Amino acid sequence: MKLSVARARALRRATRGAFFLFFTQLSCLAQQSPSTQPSDGSQQPHGQVIFSRSIDENGQTTTTTGPAAAKAGGQAVTTPTASDEERIALTFTGYDMDVHLRPAQHSIAVRAQLTVRNDSSAPIRHIPMQISSTLTWERIRIAEKDEAFTVATLNSDLDHTGQLHEAAITLATTLASGATLALDVTYSGVIKQSAQRLLAIGTPDEVAMHSDWDQIGVDFTGLRGFGAVWYPVADVPVILGDGARVFNEMGEQMLRMSGARFRVRLASEFPHGRAPNVCVINGHFAPLTVTDPQDAAGEVPGVATAAIDETLGFAAPSLFLAARIAKQAENTRLFARPEDEGAVEDWAASAAAVTPFLRGWLGGKPRSPLTILDLPDPEDEPFATGALLAASIRQATPELLDGTLVHALAQAWLMSPRAWISDGAATFMGTLWIERENGRQKALEALESGRSALALAEPVSPGEGPGQVLAQSIAPVYYRTKAAYIFWMLRDLAGDSALQASLKAYDPAADAASSLGANAGPGTFEKLLSQSGASRDLKWFFDDWVNTDKGLPDIAIDAVYVAEAQTGNWLATINLSNSGYASAEVPVTLRSAETSVTERVLVPGRGKAVQRILIHGRPTAVQANDGTVPEAEASVHIKTLDDQPAASAH
């Protein structure tokens, strides 16, 4: 997911502180790939794919797949064949892809066996599939039969070019609700850097190009999925500037794909002597096998191959391939450009500095070492997914590097398929690091910086909008901001030891098995917390904050009555109310000139609570909430008591 410039600045403030070789490699790789089937018995794409590549008399790349050549293109149409309802209905549950890159030509050729499912309540007649507008649909087959298809160009900012090529086939028999279909598709084309979608809305050239840096090239290939749609998707066209629709559709698509099986066999050609040495697919480091022929003229390209077979979490499939200087640090692999090699030592020092802190909260070591990949330009916008941080490796203050690496390493530690665990816990760890280095108040200020956006997104009441249940959330303000608050509240409710034990016991594979996707359940974390030694039953909390979305609480101090007790002690009776629908346990602090006393008070949704506190000295002020519980309005409430009349004590 993208780490915006604004977020980086916020973090800074908060922390301040030939080709026969290819045929041979691809054929062997296909034969060696596992052919396991999912436990539910549903059909998954499988099989061996062999490409034949050549250049026609016009200098264009042509593709032959299987025993015979297929004419590329389909029937071009000006009006799309498929409807938005059909696009929304289609969910991709399996990808089995053979990907061939020719970086010197910026080209990609793919044969993919796909499994799609109709997730709507009605049958659908058309199967729409979209790829970047610089890619061409060549062939679509069902049950080993070629299918006729139309191709329409859609204006959509899900791709960096601002357009998508949508292929649509018309089925002889409708695809019933809940039914699946296996497809065999072939497409190819070029992917060069393009910032057309950003330029079209008036973004300055430099900013646009440093944001949309996706491309296929010899020294660097970076394809982030949404931004450079290199794999088939089905979504409604959306345009930047239409509120948050582009980002919501990206999130919706990633949620629907969660739980899909994703297999890739990659083969990339490279000029002699310029082999790539780092490959990361979907945030996972993929070891490369490199063959570089030693022909005298250097005309035969080398081939680098890699493969991955995984279950997708909440992330867009991504592909990175580069030639960099490799360095090692604690729990970290760094791949730097030669001109940035001098900054590697600072990054390595920060990785070493934050590791003991992360180990104390998350366990002995990350599930995968973090891969840090140097982007082509120092001004390029960072990107993070899984155990990958693609960012410019340049000189920076230790405070900024420490904060960045706490977040990135935490994600590598957890590797959760659920965004609210992966991003939320990583953001939580970032604020804990701020607390450790700069004090609790700075950490609470970092939390507060995102609360207003969360308050705007949340429904005022459950009846006024659905909100987003965390397990099915698609917006960062929920799975990052709200989730970080939830971990802070769990810290207060269960204690550091219980929360640490739960995070250390967290198993992403077990959590994935408990259901992902648009109908995802709550996952395993509540059970882990109950087994961790937490002394309280937190079912009410998970019901109101995690498993449903009841919006945010809205606490008020309605009245405070003070009475002198004896021997200099005073008793304060504090009346609280909550006009929100989510219950909240907040710290309530009573202060006098001599001391302060804090008690935690549970204020039910749409309810009231009364708390009595005994304190030495006449009370001067009451504070409800300290900023750890997000509210619809301010999250800190202070009532001064200097002029409060004293009542008689009973």
d(CA 503, CA 414) in angstroms, rounded, equals 8
H helix or E strand, kind and range, residue 473:
none
Over range 325-336, report the average pLDDT.
97
d(CA 139, CA 169) in angstroms, rounded, equals 11
d(CA 434, CA 481) in angstroms, rounded, equals 16
Residue 610 and residue 509 share a domain: no
Residue 148 and residue 182 share a domain: yes
Q: For the chain, how many structural domains are there in total?
A: 3
CATH number of the domain at 592, please: 2.60.40
Residue 307 and residue 455 share a domain: no
Residue 98 and residue 247 share a domain: yes
What pLDDT is stored for residue 566 in this prediction? Answer: 85
Residue 595 and residue 530 share a domain: no
The tens digit of pLDDT for each residue in 226-256 reads: 889 999 999 999 999 888 899 999 999 999 9
In Å, the largest CA–CA distance within the chain is 101
Total residues belonging to the chain: 650
Average pLDDT, the chain: 87
Assess if residue 376 is contained within a domain. no
Selection from 423, 411, 477, 474 nearest residue 450 by Cα: 477
Contacts of 634 (CB under 8 A, 6+ apart): none
Contact 118, 124 (CB under 8 A): yes
Assess if residue 9 is contained within a domain. no
Residue 542 and residue 561 share a domain: no
Assess if residue 393 is contained within a domain. no
The DSSP line for 516-546 is -STT----SHHHHHHTTT-SS--HHHIIIII
What confidence category does residue 406 fall into, taking pLDDT thresholds of 50, 70 and 90?
Answer: very high
What pLDDT is stored for residue 244 in this prediction? Answer: 86
Of 56-65, 106-115, 282-291, least confident by mean pLDDT is 56-65
Assess if residue 240 is contained within a domain. yes
Residue 205 and residue 66 share a domain: yes
| CA distances in angstroms from 428 to 8, 433, 560, listed in the order given | 16, 9, 34
The burial of 648, by beta-carbon neighbours within 10 Å (0-12 exposed, 13-18 middle, 19 or more buried), is given as exposed
What pLDDT is stored for residue 17 in this prediction? Answer: 30
What confidence category does residue 208 fall into, taking pLDDT thresholds of 50, 70 and 90?
Answer: very high
What confidence category does residue 461 fall into, taking pLDDT thresholds of 50, 70 and 90?
Answer: confident
The tens digit of pLDDT for each residue in 575-599 reads: 999 999 999 999 999 999 999 999 9
d(CA 590, CA 619) in angstroms, rounded, equals 7
Sign of CA dihedral 435, 437, 441, 445: negative
Among residues 516, 546, 576, the one where a domain terminates is 546
Residue 138 and residue 42 share a domain: yes
What pLDDT is stored for residue 219 in this prediction? Answer: 96
CATH number of the domain at 526, please: 1.10.390
d(CA 77, CA 89) in angstroms, rounded, equals 22
What confidence category does residue 431 fall into, taking pLDDT thresholds of 50, 70 and 90?
Answer: very high
Is pLDDT of 32 > 70? no
Which DSSP letter does residue 471 get? G
What pLDDT is stored for residue 54 in this prediction? Answer: 37
Is pLDDT of 174 > 80? yes
Over range 486-515, report the average pLDDT.
93
What pLDDT is stored for residue 296 in this prediction? Answer: 60
What pLDDT is stored for residue 646 in this prediction? Answer: 56
Q: Which domain covers residue 539, as residue numbers?
A: 416-546
d(CA 116, CA 119) in angstroms, rounded, equals 9
Assess if residue 171 is contained within a domain. yes
d(CA 45, CA 520) in angstroms, rounded, equals 23
Residue 517 and residue 611 share a domain: no
The tens digit of pLDDT for each residue in 598-635 reads: 999 999 999 999 999 999 999 999 999 999 999 999 99
Selection from 155, 496, 103 nearest residue 303 by Cα: 103
Pull the structure tokens for residue 226. 């949404």
d(CA 524, CA 514) in angstroms, rounded, equals 7
Of 137-146, 295-304, 367-376, 479-488, least confident by mean pLDDT is 295-304
- Angle among Cα 244, 445, 484 to the nearest 5 degrees reads 60
- Angle among Cα 441, 448, 622 to the nearest 5 degrees reads 60
Question: What percent of the chain has a predicted confidence (pLDDT) above 70?
Answer: 87
What confidence category does residue 644 fall into, taking pLDDT thresholds of 50, 70 and 90?
Answer: low
